[in-house]
Structure 1
Amino acid sequence: MGYRRINIQYTALQGLFWMLFCVTGGFISFYLQGNGFGNSLIGIITAVFCLVAFILQPMVGNICDRVDKLTWKKLIIILGVPYIITCILLLIVKSKGLIVILFGTMYVITFIYLPLINSAVFAYEKEGVKINFGIARGTGSTMYALVALIIGSMARKSGTKIIPLSGLIIIVLFLGIISTMPVADKIKPEKKEVKHMNVLSFIRNYPYFSIMLLAVLFMFFSHNIIGTYLLQIIQSLGGNSSNLGRAMFIQAVVEIPVLFTFSFIMGKIKVGNLMVLAGIGYFIRAILYFVSADIGMIYITQFSQIFSFAIIAAASVYFTGMVVNEQDQTTGQAFMSGMMSAGTVLGSFFGGAMLDCYGVRTLLKANIFITLAGLIIAICSIVMIRGRKNSEGV
C-alpha cells in the first residue's frame, strides 16, 4: 500500500465526513425549526434519532468485527445508497411526518459512519501504513468550518432545502473517495485464534474503558446541549442563523491547530491525561456559556473548543486504540463514538424540555454540573486504568 496516497485519501475522507456531519448534525435544529417544529419536539425528535444511532453503532461495529467479508469500506458504500435516496426525497416531500423519518435516516447513517472511519486508521496501521490521524481530523474541522459558514449564510436566502441538497452533493463526493481506497485486511492478532465478543461481553471485558465511556457520555451530554440548541441560545441574545454559521465556523477553525499537531501533543502528554484535560475544557466551556451576555461573548466562548472537543475528538480514538484489543477495535470505536449519539439523546430530551419550561439561563446553569460529573468520572477511570500493570502508555 502507498503510504502517501492512502494518507491523502484518508484526509479527504475525514474532510468530507465532517462536511456531511455539519449538514446533518450542525443544522438539525435549524432544519426542524424551519419545518415547523418547536423546541421540545425538536428535542424529542433529535433524541429518538440519536437513540437509534446509539443502539445501532456498537451493533454494526460488532457485526463488522465478526463478519470477515464485511469491511468498513463495503459497509460505508452500502449505507450510502439509502442516504442518497433520502436526500432526493427530502427535496420533494412536504409531509412533516415523512420529513422527520427521512432526515432521521440521514442523521443515523452519518453517526454510524464515524466508528467505521476511525477503525480504518488501525486497520491500515496493521498493514504497515501509518495514518496521521491528527492532520486528517484537522482537515475535517477545516471543512466543517467552511461548510458551516457557507450554509449559515445561504440558509437565510434558500431556506431548509439547502440541507438535503448539500448532503446529496457531499455524499456523492464522499463515496467517490471511498471507492478509490484500498481495503486493509481485518485486524487480527498473529498466530492466534480470533475470539470475537458480543456487545455485552465487550462491556464486561473492558470495565475501566466502560467507566471512561460514561465520562465521555457526560462530556457529549454537555457538548450536544450546546450544539443542538446553539441557535436558540444565540436567538436569546438577539442573533439569527447567520450568527449561528459564524459561531460554528469559529469553533471548527480553532480546533484545527490542535488536531494538526496532535501527534506532537501525544508525544508530550499521555492520552489518559488528555482525556482528563478534555473534561476540564468542557467544564470551563460550560462556565463561559453561562456568563455570555451577547453574541460577541458567544464568539469568544467558541475558542474553548481548543481544550474540549478538539482534544476529545482525537484522544478518544487513540485511547480506545490503546485500551481495547486489536480484534475488538471496531466495536470499541463504535462504543466510543456511540457516546456522541447517547449524549445527544440526553442533551436533546433534557435541553428541549428545559428550554421550554425554564429558559436558556437555567439550561446553561445545569450544563455546568453535567460537565463537572464528566470530569470527575474521567479522573476516576484513569486512576483505575493506571493501577493495571500493562497500562503505562495510558
Structure 2
Amino acid sequence: MLERLKTSNDFRLNFQYFLLQGFYWMIVCCAISLGSAYLSDRGYSTAGIGILFALAFAMAAILQPIISINTDNSSRYTVVDVLTVLGIIVTIDMFLACTTSGKSIATGLTFFIGVMFAQLVQPFLNALNFFIEDRGVEMNYGVARANGSLFFFVISLVAGNLMKASSERVLPILGFIASVGFMSILIWLRYTLSKSSKSFAKEYDPFEKRQAGEEITVKTVKKFISDNMTFFVIMIGVTCFFFGHVLINNFVYQITSHVGGDEADTGGILALAALVELPAMILFNKIKYRYSTKLLFGISAFFFFVKILFTALASTVGMLYFSMIFQALAFALFIPASVHFVDEFMPAKDSVKGQAFLVVAMTLANALASFVGGGCMYTFGVTFSLWFSTVITLAGVVVCICGLFRINAKK
C-alpha cells in the first residue's frame, strides 16, 4: 500500500478522498448526530435544540446555492478552495466550542455554526469526487462513502462511551480532532492535485455539470414543476418520509433516554445504523444492474416507514437497536438510488433541477423535523412525536410509491 501511495497518483487521490469522507462523517457525528445529547447535558430544552437545528439547516440551505453559483462563475476559485475555507471555519468553531461551558450563548452559537457549516460541506465534498474525475482519475465514490459510515461507526462508539464516562465536554474535543484530520488530508490532497500533470476541465460546477447558459430561476422552476408534476409529487413524498428519519437522527438521545438508555447507548445505536449502511453503499453499483432504480427507490421509502414504526414501538434499548437494522434498506439504499433515479427518469434538460429538488426536499425535511419535532417532544413527549412522525412517514411513502407507479423513464 505504501508503495502504491508513492507511485500511483490515482491511488493516492482515491485514498485521500476516502479519508476526507471518513473525517467529515466523524465531524457530522460530533456536530449533529450527538448534538442533542451534548446540548441536553448543557441544560438546553428539546424545543430549544430543535430551533437551533432548524435555523442551522435553513441557513445552510440558503448559503449552499449562493456559494455554488459564485464558485461556478469564478475562474479563480474551485471546489477545493471552498472546502478549505469551510474546513477552516469548522475547525476554529470546534476549538472555540471546547472552551464553552453550561447553557451559554457561546454554547448555542458554536453548536449552530458547527451544524450549519458541517451541513454546508457535504455537497461540496460529494462534488470533489467528480472534480477529481474531471482530471481523468477513476474514483470509487461508493466505497469512499462507505468509509465515511465506517468512521462514523467508530466515533459514535468512542464519543458515546467517553461522554458517559466523563462529560459532554469530550464531544467538541473529538470534533476538533476530526476537523484537524480533515484539514490535514485536504492540504495533502491540494498538494497532490497541484503536482498532477492532468489539467482541470475548463468549466466546473461544484454541484453538477450544467449545460452552457442554463440557469435555475423562478421562471424555469415553475416550468419544471408544470412539465414534471409527477416527479414534484414524488419529492413531496420524499420530504414526508425523510421527516421521520431526521427526527430519529437529531433526537436520538431523547429517544434513547425515553426507554432508559444513556450516552453510551446513543453512541451504540448510531454506530449500528452506520455499520449496516456499508453493504448497500459498497455494492450498489452491482445491485442497480439487477434491479431498477425505481424499484430500489420505492423499497428504500418503504423501509423508512418500517424503521420509524419499530422505533415508535420500542420500549427498551434493545428494541431501538433492532429498529436501526432497517437503516440498511432505508437511508443506505435511498442515497445512491435517488441520485441514479433522477438521472434515469428526468429529461437531460431537467436533470440538474431534478437533483436540486431532491436536495431541497431533504433539506426541508431537516428543517421541519428539527423545528416541529423538537416542539412536539417538548410539548407532548417522545411517544407522541414518534407516532406523529410515523403517520407523516407513512403518508410520504404512499405518495412517493403512487408517483413512482406513474412516472416513466425518459425517452
Is the TM value for this pair above 0.5? yes
Structure 1 residue identity aligned to 2:241: M
The alpha carbon displacement at 1:120 in A equals: 2.5
Q: 1:267 to 1:305 in 2, by over 3 A?
A: same
SS for the counterpart of 1:122 is helix
1:52 aligns with 2:59: yes
8 Å CA contact retained: 2:79, 2:131 = no
1:194 aligns with 2:216: no
1:93 aligns with 2:113: no
The two structures have a TM-score, normalised by structure 2, of: 0.85
Structure-2 residue corresponding to 1:378: 400
Q: Structure 1 residue runs of 4+, over 6 Å off?
A: none
1:310 aligns with 2:318: no
The separation in 2 between residues aligned to 1:352 and 1:361, in whole angstroms, is 12
8 Å CA contact retained: 1:53, 1:338 = no
Structure-2 residue corresponding to 1:236: 258
Structure-2 residue corresponding to 1:168: 176
SS for the counterpart of 1:160 is coil
Structure-1 residue corresponding to 2:300: 278
8 Å CA contact retained: 1:58, 1:338 = no
The separation in 1 between residues aligned to 2:88 and 2:57, in whole angstroms, is 20
The alpha carbon displacement at 1:206 in A equals: 4.4
The alpha carbon displacement at 1:241 in A equals: 0.9
1:63-74 superposed matches below 5 A: 63-74=70-81
The separation in 1 between residues aligned to 2:211 and 2:58, in whole angstroms, is 34
8 Å CA contact retained: 2:90, 2:117 = yes
How big is the alpha-carbon RMSD for the aligned residues of Structure 1 and Structure 2? 2.7
1:252 aligns with 2:274: yes
Structure-2 residue corresponding to 1:116: 124
The separation in 2 between residues aligned to 1:102 and 1:355, in whole angstroms, is 23
8 Å CA contact retained: 2:237, 2:399 = yes
8 Å CA contact retained: 2:88, 2:183 = no
SS for the counterpart of 1:254 is helix
The alpha carbon displacement at 1:337 in A equals: 4.1
Q: 1:206 to 1:246 in 2, by over 3 A?
A: same
Structure-2 residue corresponding to 1:297: 319
The alpha carbon displacement at 1:202 in A equals: 5.9
The separation in 1 between residues aligned to 2:279 and 2:132, in whole angstroms, is 24
8 Å CA contact retained: 1:282, 1:308 = yes
SS for the counterpart of 1:261 is helix
8 Å CA contact retained: 1:57, 1:335 = no
Q: 1:205 to 1:155 in 2, by over 3 A?
A: farther
2:390 maps to which of 364, 368, 373? 368
The separation in 2 between residues aligned to 1:8 and 1:324, in whole angstroms, is 34
The separation in 1 between residues aligned to 2:24 and 2:264, in whole angstroms, is 23
Q: 1:61 to 1:256 in 2, by over 3 A?
A: same
The alpha carbon displacement at 1:218 in A equals: 2.1
Structure 1 residue identity aligned to 2:340: Y
The alpha carbon displacement at 1:201 in A equals: 5.4
1:10 maps to which of 6, 14, 17? 17
1:133 aligns with 2:141: yes
The alpha carbon displacement at 1:279 in A equals: 0.6
> Please, which moves more after superposition, 95-104 or 39-48?
95-104
SS for the counterpart of 2:166 is helix
1:269 aligns with 2:287: no
1:216 aligns with 2:238: yes
8 Å CA contact retained: 1:43, 1:353 = yes
Q: With a CA cutoff of 8 Å and minimum separation of 6, indicate the structure with the bigger relative contact order.
A: 1
8 Å CA contact retained: 2:224, 2:350 = no
Structure-1 residue corresponding to 2:3: none
SS for the counterpart of 1:113 is helix
Number of aligned positions between the proteins: 385
> Please, which moves more after superposition, 92-101 or 68-77?
92-101
The alpha carbon displacement at 1:287 in A equals: 1.5
The alpha carbon displacement at 1:333 in A equals: 5.6
Structure 2 residue identity aligned to 1:117: L
Structure 1 residue identity aligned to 2:212: V
SS for the counterpart of 2:319 is helix
Structure 2 residue identity aligned to 1:180: W
The separation in 1 between residues aligned to 2:294 and 2:110, in whole angstroms, is 39
1:355 aligns with 2:367: no
SS for the counterpart of 2:400 is helix
Consecutive unaligned residues of structure 1, counting only runs of 5 or more, are: 390-394
Structure-2 residue corresponding to 1:159: 167
The alpha carbon displacement at 1:303 in A equals: 0.2
Consecutive unaligned residues of structure 2, counting only runs of 5 or more, are: 1-7, 195-199
The two structures have a TM-score, normalised by structure 1, of: 0.88
> Please, which moves more after superposition, 339-348 or 297-306?
339-348
- C-alpha distance after superposition, 1:80-133 (max 9, x if no partner): 222222122222234611221121111111111111112233334444433222
SS for the counterpart of 1:159 is coil
